[in-house]
């Protein structure tokens, strides 16, 4: 296709998206023109095909290529309208699309694209960095799994309608082979959620206790025992989200993901400090480098890959957040020891300093990301695992 034809197509698509948004979204109030809830808006976006523009039309999309999909996402972002681009960033929908049965796709993907809330039931006490050692069990009884166990560090569990559950369905095979990935309804007897108070004052994380909770067998994503493979796709999407700064969002002095360290330094009267200027330049360079890497990660995600490149972005964002917080603390000086309403900027700096650890832990710790990068990107020897090939019930995780 010639460049002229491509540009015409791009212009036509931009005009179409802009016209649709102008008819349906009030950019000034950042609300749907027709009123209604955010869920109603997501349904409208879904019905128009903008929720998953790269997916085929028979799967609620428009069959656009990655460049055109980026155009759609960019136009929605300009007017701060949510709902588009979920073919890249909706963890549940992407996992079902890649591994789910046709029945599960038809039944549940529209629900998740239209705003159904979910949480990630992965980590457990004793199975955080080594997720393959989870001991929450899902025993099939008829057409349901009966689930028993405990999860921890589950973001948003107190509000979620569903949980993406990694559970053990076979104890007599090696640990990676006995896991299944199941969509668990959260609002039922047998699911108890206990919020965890964080150093930031938030309670995003939770403990989740499962006592004979039930999930339909039809809610399993992929074949039984293939949960580890499915989870790699889910983790890749999560790491892409975190690499884009998902852990940065907060209602405070800085409401956007991007922090202008230059403006911060200018307000503090320290823009001419040569050492601080160098540190600001380094922080900005890390952000730019990460943005370029994320372009590559998104392209791989669009092709259905769960590439370890996502780990680079996630690890980079962790470094960026810690680095930005350190520079901001230096810029604010001794006043950064203050907090609360007496100094809102100090409160925001302190929040960012403490909150940076969420990105260092969520989606796999920084140390785990380094292992992934070393083994799967650089081709270095794998870390030794003595229990990798033995039946899980004989592993130290079970026998103690």
Active-site residues, by number, are 238
Q: What are phi and psi of 326, to 5 degrees?
A: -65, -45
- Coil, helix or strand at residue 351: helix
d(CA 215, CA 178): 18
Q: Is residue 313 exposed (0-12), middle (13-18) or buried (19+ Cβ within 10 Å)?
A: buried
Partners of residue 185 on adjacent β-strands: 162
d(CA 300, CA 292): 13
Tokens representing residue 367 in the block = 């140390």
- Coil, helix or strand at residue 23: helix
Taking CB atoms within 8 Å and a gap of at least 24, the contacts of 57-63 are 59/97, 59/105, 59/109, 60/109, 60/110, 60/113, 61/87
CB contact at 8 A, 55 and 45: no
d(CA 245, CA 316): 10
d(CA 264, CA 282): 15
Q: Is residue 304 exposed (0-12), middle (13-18) or buried (19+ Cβ within 10 Å)?
A: exposed
CB contact at 8 A, 243 and 316: yes
């Amino acid at each position: 296709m010639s460049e002229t034809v491509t540009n015409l197509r791009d212009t036509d698509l931009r005009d179409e998206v802009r016209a649709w948004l102008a008819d349906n979204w009030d950019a000034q109030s950042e609300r749907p023109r027709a009123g209604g809830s955010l869920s109603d808006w997501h349904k409208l976006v879904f019905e128009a095909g903008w929720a998953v523009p790269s997916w085929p039309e028979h799967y609620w999309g428009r069959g656009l290529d990655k460049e055109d999909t980026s155009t759609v996402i960019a136009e929605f972002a300009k007017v701060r309208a949510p709902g588009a681009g979920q073919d890249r960033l909706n963890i549940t929908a992407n996992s079902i699309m890649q591994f789910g049965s046709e029945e599960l796709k038809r039944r549940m993907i529209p629900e998740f694209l239209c705003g159904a809330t979910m949480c990630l039931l992965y980590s457990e006490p004793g199975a955080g960095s080594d997720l393959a050692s989870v001991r929450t069990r899902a025993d099939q009884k008829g057409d349901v799994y009966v689930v028993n166990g405990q999860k921890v560090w589950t973001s948003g569990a107190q509000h979620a309608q569903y949980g993406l559950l990694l559970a053990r369905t076979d104890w007599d095979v090696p640990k990676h082979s006995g896991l299944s990935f199941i969509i668990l309804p959260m609002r039922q007897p047998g699911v108890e959620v206990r919020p965890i108070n964080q150093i930031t004052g938030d309670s995003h994380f939770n403990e989740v206790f499962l006592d004979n909770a039930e999930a339909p067998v039809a809610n399993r994503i992929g074949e039984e025992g293939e949960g580890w493979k499915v989870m790699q796709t889910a983790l890749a999407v999560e790491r892409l989200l975190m690499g884009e700064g998902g852990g940065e969002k907060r209602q405070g002095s800085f409401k956007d993901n991007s922090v202008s360290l230059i403006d911060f330094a200018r307000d503090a009267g320290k823009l001419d400090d040569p050492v601080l200027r160098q540190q600001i330049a380094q922080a900005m360079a890390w952000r730019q480098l990460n943005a370029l890497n994320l372009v590559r990660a998104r392209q791989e995600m669009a092709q259905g890959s769960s590439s370890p490149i996502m780990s680079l972005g996630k690890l980079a964002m962790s470094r960026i957040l810690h680095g930005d917080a350190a520079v901001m603390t230096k810029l604010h000086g001794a006043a950064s020891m203050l907090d609360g309403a007496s100094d809102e900027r100090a409160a925001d700096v302190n929040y960012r300093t403490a909150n940076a650890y969420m990105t260092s832990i969520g989606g796999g710790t920084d140390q785990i990301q380094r292992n992934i990068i070393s083994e799967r990107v650089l081709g270095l020897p794998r870390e030794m695992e003595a229990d990798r090939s033995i039946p899980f019930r004989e592993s130290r995780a079970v026998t103690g």
